[in-house]
Structure 1
Amino acid sequence: MRPEALTGWISRVFGNARPKPTVASTPPEHTTPLTRDRVAAYLAGRGYQYLVDEDGDLTGMWEGSRFWFLLLGDHHEILQVRGRWHRTLPVLQRPSVLLAANDWNRERIWPKVYVREEDDELALYSEVSVDLEHGVTDTQLSQLLACGLGTGVQMFTALDAVLPGSPPPPTGPPSAS
């Protein structure tokens, strides 16, 4: 067998393995406390439009649905990305709405979806929550925020397809409503 034929795993078996090239590694990130400013920096860095509502929470519109970025817990250590679907449905549709929500929750980890009765209509919410008591790296925070937004939008899009009477989502800049 010619030496050039001894490549890959077989060359390692015969002891002719070439040394692996070294890969420059980046220094490990360190966790730092979760803050509203860090969440705002992520949103601004992605070019997302958002505002601070009257409760001091970050909020904005994605694909026509309202999302909030909440810091909960005694020390604001719990990040919650909560979305509210752009539509409401009649209370009479509760069985089909609950079936759609249960199907989603049974088949997926994120986001949790739930139904609330508001002003005699049904509102649907998405929610991704994580306890960051010991801090979070910038990379982790980016992944969590992207997960909360991405899976929430995905869930609302799926609901538009399965629940009857879907008007198009509203468009425009975020508002504090």
Structure 2
Amino acid sequence: MAWWRWGHDNPHRDETESEGGLRVQLPRQRRGTGAVGPVTMERIGASLSRQEIRHLTDADGALLALWERHAVLFTLEGPDDEILVVRARAHATTPQEWSERAYAAANEWNHARRFMKAYVGDPTERGGLPFYAEMQVPFLAGAHDELIDELIDCAAAVAATYVDWLHSDAGVL
């Protein structure tokens, strides 16, 4: 049933009154049921486990999830480890001769999308240009598990979409 047809007894709706006396039903936002707490690497790892995303822990304590075409690093940075950083990297690289094409692809991604910003990294030891996508979210105030889960789920999906796009529409990998 469409949201505008829901009755007054629906627990997922909030009713508000406009200036003209007209009652409009607005969707009620889902709120986290868990307690808000500091975002830690343990909570990020637990979120990855809940979502059945297999991951490894590197020597610095960052978490790394690997897929067929890309890897995603999850870590905390900042003076108080309050910034969640999610950094995706495509396994494939593009030749340095394609640098203009690579930068144009990153710019196109950034122009057309809001989430996870793309960039071309420095040449690798083998001379290829790596592609990255990254997001950073400050969590000094903390978060509940549902928000962490939603962010990680979204970041993993967008990272996969980005790498698929690099291989198909962007034509750089």
TM-score range, shorter chain: 0.7 to 0.9
> 2:132 aligns to what?
125
| Aligned mate of 1:158, from 153, 162, 165 | 165
> 1:56 aligns to what?
61
Cα 1:22/1:73, change in 2 over 3 Å? same
Question: Cα offset for 1:48?
Answer: 1.6
Separation in 2 of the partners of 1:150 and 1:27? Answer: 21
Question: Cα offset for 1:82?
Answer: 0.5
Separation in 2 of the partners of 1:66 and 1:27? Answer: 29
Separation in 1 of the partners of 2:86 and 2:165? Answer: 18
Contact 1:66–1:84 (Cα < 8 Å) also in 2: yes
Higher relative contact order, structure no. (Cα contacts within 8 Å, ≥ 6 residues apart): 1
> 1:104 aligns to what?
109
Q: Normalized per residue, which structure has more strand?
A: 2
Separation in 1 of the partners of 2:44 and 2:88? Answer: 16
Q: Which has the larger radius of gyration?
A: 1
Query: Are 2:146 and 1:139 aligned?
Result: yes
Deviations 1:40-99 (A, max 9, x none): 111111222111012211102124311110111111110011111010111000011111
Describe the SS at the equivalent of 1:109: coil
Contact 1:78–1:129 (Cα < 8 Å) also in 2: yes
Cα 1:29/1:106, change in 2 over 3 Å? same
| One-letter amino acid of the structure 2 residue matched with residue 128 of structure 1 | M
Question: Cα offset for 1:30?
Answer: 3.5
| One-letter amino acid of the structure 2 residue matched with residue 98 of structure 1 | Y
Report runs of 4+ in structure 1 exceeding 3 Å deviation: 24-30, 162-166
Contact 2:90–2:163 (Cα < 8 Å) also in 1: yes
Q: How high is the TM-score relative to the length of structure 2?
A: 0.78
Question: Cα offset for 1:23?
Answer: 2.7
Q: Provide the alpha-carbon RMSD of the alignment.
A: 2.4
- In the alignment of these two chains, the number of paired residues is 150
Describe the SS at the equivalent of 1:153: helix
Q: How high is the TM-score relative to the length of structure 1?
A: 0.76
